[in-house]
Amino acid sequence: MSERAKLFLMAAVFLVFYYAPFPHPRVQSAILEAFWMLQDYAQRHVLFCLVPAFFIAGGISVFVSQASVMKYFGPKADKLLSYGVASVSGTILAVCSCTVLPLYAGISRRGAGIGPAVAFLYSGPAINVLAIILTGRVLGLEMGLARAFGAVAFSIVIGLAMASIFRHEGSVPDDSMFAAKDDTVRPLWKEVLYFFSMVCVLVFAAWGRPEQPVGFFDAVYRIHWWLAGAALLALLWMLSAWFTKDELVSWKDSTWGFAKQIFPLLLAGVFAAGLLMGRPGLDNGLIPNRWVALLVGGNSLWANLFASVAGALMYFATLTEIPILQGLMGSGMGKGPALALLLAGPALSLPSMIVLNKVMGTRKLLAYVGLVVFMSTLAGMIYGALF
Amino acid sequence: MKIEVFGPGCPKCVNTEKAIKAVLAELKLSAEVVKITDISAIVDRGVMFTPAVIIDGKKVCEGKVPTPEMIKGWLK
């Protein structure tokens, strides 16, 4: 940051505090709401959802071999397989856009072509594990599943559409960049069990009390701590029996890396959501509920389109789309527009469009943005009509 | 010696460059450190996982920030 920028920043902060209308009741309630919202996250979502999710994401980035996925994106790879792997590879490969872009360019120009590359470009940020887990936890299982399913389906459809629009684009295939490097150190079933036990810890620790104390969900709820504990013990045993010390250190490092990168931004997002919209169900935020309901309430074409376009333009730091949406839905946003925003939001933003423009060119960028907005609107309409 | 660091400018890539310069200073070695941020140029060199490091035309690291020990190993 230049000295001049620092000066402007300081002046801006000063002016905000100089003129902020603190005596206004809505401003006062909004500030309190922001802290209530932070407390709600701290009490309900941090220990048993975010912390295990960071460990899972860290484990994936260290133990799942990224190079082994690349062979599905080579110029000679089976196209069907390319699309399939691209649509779910976001869970394994991507956390930030700076990893995605070189991969996109490589796949598009040297490998399987623009279709799988675009599928990958979309699925990368849209379907990362942390986002799906927290969406299910905060916005409900239904929304989490709709998001995961929508992201996978979108990436394939958008990839296929891009491939058919730009089918005459040339590329310089280079098979050597996609050579399979086999660097696995333990059998697949051990890795699967390792991840499965982590997921069990997460699922059982976060098991919610059902509304009626009957049936399967209640039976699990009664013993959920025992189940989570058993999964944790199994995990600890696996760690000591199958993993080397170096591996555990790099797992810890990458988990800590995720936490450092994501947690502060998420807290800022929760705070902003509380300030602007208030806690769900209350009309205490800076933005009155009726404005939200006016713009994105119900399930009209307009509401869905507005949510898609706003999502495509807005920048959300990893996971912050979730508290923002929670606030918006609590203020009267419809479920359809909420899904539309979830599907268009993380994949695109104004800053990322500027970078993408350099990498893919204006024509492809416009087609890509158009497809994302159109598909998100459509998915929002369908979801809103069903639920 | 020519050390090329590849990355579009994310924190990891910046840290990679810093780590290499720190090790060079520690070992009192001189080398030309070049940062390549253009995505087309990165892909043309056969790199897809950033940050990546190429020393005198040989790819030594791809997809992660190297530790000082790793860097010392390459410089020997």
**Cβ contacts of A107 on chain B, cutoff 8 Å:** 48
Are the C-beta atoms of B50 and B63 separated by less than 8 Å? yes
The answer to whether the Cβ–Cβ distance between B48 and A176 falls below 8 Å is no
Q: Which residue has the higher pLDDT, A151 or A66?
A: A151
Are the C-beta atoms of A377 and A310 separated by less than 8 Å? no
Range scoring the smallest mean pLDDT among A85-99, A151-165, A200-214, A310-324 = A85-99
Are the C-beta atoms of A353 and A306 separated by less than 8 Å? no
Write down the ipTM of this complex: 0.77
The answer to whether the Cβ–Cβ distance between A358 and B39 falls below 8 Å is yes
A44 and B CB contact within 8 Å: no
C-alpha B75/C-alpha A267 separation (Å) is 42
Half-sphere exposure of A57 (CA within 13 A, CB side): 29
Average pLDDT over residues A122-142: 84
Confidence of residue A7 (pLDDT cuts 50, 70, 90): very high
Are the C-beta atoms of A75 and A110 separated by less than 8 Å? yes
Residue pLDDT, tens place only, B44-58:
888 878 888 998 888
CA A254 from centroid of its chain's CA atoms: 18
* Residue A314: per-residue pLDDT: 85
Q: What are phi and psi of B3, to 5 degrees?
A: -110, 120
The 3-state secondary structure of B43-68 reads HHCCCCCCCEEEECCEEEEECCCCCH
A152 and B CB contact within 8 Å: no
Chain B residue with CA closest to A172: the answer is: B44
Task: Tell me which H or E stretch contains A275.
Answer: helix A245-277
A70 and B CB contact within 8 Å: yes
Active-site residue numbers of B? 10, 13
B7, B8, B49: residue with CB nearest A66? B49
**Cβ contacts of B12 on chain A, cutoff 8 Å:** 98
Question: What is the reported pTM?
Answer: 0.81
Q: Which of A77, A124, A67, A63 is nearest to A99 (CA)?
A: A124
List the alpha helices (DSSP H) in A42-126: 51-63, 66-70, 79-88, 90-93, 97-110, 114-126
Residue pLDDT, tens place only, A328-337:
998 888 899 9
The answer to whether the Cβ–Cβ distance between B50 and A109 falls below 8 Å is no
Checking if the pLDDT of A94 tops 60, the result is no
CA angle A255, A252, B51 (to 5 degrees): 65
A86-95, A124-133, A369-378: which is most confident: A369-378
C-alpha B6/C-alpha B33 separation (Å) is 11
Quick one: DSSP state of residue A64? S
Write down the mean pLDDT value for chain A.
Answer: 85
The answer to whether the Cβ–Cβ distance between A102 and B39 falls below 8 Å is yes
Task: Tell me which H or E stretch contains A146.
Answer: helix A141-165
Average pLDDT over residues B3-24: 86
B48 and A CB contact within 8 Å: yes
C-alpha A377/C-alpha A29 separation (Å) is 34
C-alpha A273/C-alpha A267 separation (Å) is 10
Residue for token pair 């929508």: A150
**Pairing mode of beta strands B58-62, B52-55:** antiparallel
B16 and A CB contact within 8 Å: no
Three-state DSSP at A326 gives: helix
Write down the mean pLDDT value for chain B.
Answer: 85
Average pLDDT over residues A102-120: 85
B8 and A CB contact within 8 Å: yes
Per 3-state DSSP, chain B is made up of helix, strand and coil in percentages (nearest 5) of 40, 25, 35
A341, burial (CB in 10 Å: exposed 0-12, middle 13-18, buried 19+): buried
Checking if the pLDDT of A95 tops 80, the result is no
The answer to whether the Cβ–Cβ distance between B48 and A359 falls below 8 Å is no
**Cβ contacts of B10 on chain A, cutoff 8 Å:** 96, 98-99
CA angle A122, A148, A63 (to 5 degrees): 80
